[in-house]
């Protein structure tokens, strides 16, 4: 159920990416995992240098700023996908 809702948020562009990044940063473990997986799938589905990838990357990097340790670890795991899609 969480995965389905997390995947649906990616259709909302930047606001959806920000909500997912916030869930990765601050969510409970199961929520964090669903949000991170949705962001990862979203990034993997985009072509290189797609503007949507830049918006998602910005959301992930902004969320890192004040993330608690568990959230920061989860966000850092998304960085390879972010870098791959944004160059």
Query: What are the start-end ranges of the H helices in the chain?
Result: 2-9, 13-26, 29-45, 51-64, 69-86
pLDDT score, position 35: 95
Q: In which residue ranges of the chain is pLDDT below 50?
A: none
CB 32 within 8 A of CB 70: yes
pLDDT score, position 86: 86
pLDDT score, position 70: 95
pLDDT score, position 32: 95
pTM of this structure = 0.90
């Amino acid at each position: 159920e969480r995965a389905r809702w997390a995947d649906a948020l990616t259709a909302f562009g930047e606001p959806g990416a920000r909500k997912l990044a916030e869930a990765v940063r601050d969510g409970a473990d199961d929520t964090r995992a669903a949000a991170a997986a949705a962001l990862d799938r979203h990034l993997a589905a985009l072509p290189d240098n797609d503007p949507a990838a830049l918006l998602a990357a910005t959301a992930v990097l902004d969320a890192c700023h004040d993330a608690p340790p568990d959230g920061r670890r989860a966000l850092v795991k998304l960085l390879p996908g972010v870098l791959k899609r944004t160059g």
